[in-house]
């Protein structure tokens, strides 16, 4: 399938590891969140521990590992939160 570029917003410790507020990951169309996570780990090996503990969000809502990504979607990587 054709590749697509997915922008991933990064926060807190994840932003510190990737060196900025977002990264672009190239994936096949209809890739799942689980594949996005592994692609990000391949791109940033230091992110592995945090990426595997993180939840993921699309359109301001958490999505599951099986969520299918489409072109132009923006995904947010939500590492374990520490507000409050």
Verify binding: residue 45, another protein, rule CB under 8 A.
no
Tokens of 52: 């595997």
Residue placing its CB nearer to another protein in the complex, 2 or 60: 60
Residue in 42, 53, 65, 71 binding another protein, rule: CB under 8 A: 53
* Spatial distance between the Cα atoms of 29 and 50, rounded to a whole number of angstroms: 25
Residues 6+ apart with CB under 8 A from 35: 27, 28
Residue in 4, 41, 57, 73 binding another protein, rule: CB under 8 A: 57
Q: At 75, is the secondary structure helix, strand, or coil? A: strand
Residue placing its CB nearer to another protein in the complex, 7 or 62: 62
Verify binding: residue 61, another protein, rule CB under 8 A.
yes
Secondary structure element (H or E) that encloses residue 67, with its range: none
Verify binding: residue 8, another protein, rule CB under 8 A.
no
């Amino acid at each position: 399938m054709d590749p697509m570029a997915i922008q991933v917003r990064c926060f807190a410790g994840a932003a510190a590891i990737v060196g900025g507020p977002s990264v672009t990951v190239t994936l096949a169309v209809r890739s799942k969140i689980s594949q996005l996570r592994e692609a990000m780990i391949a791109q940033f090996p230091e992110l592995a521990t945090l990426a595997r503990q993180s939840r993921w969000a699309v359109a301001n809502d958490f999505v599951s590992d099986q969520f299918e990504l489409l072109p132009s979607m923006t995904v947010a990587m939500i590492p374990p939160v520490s507000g409050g």
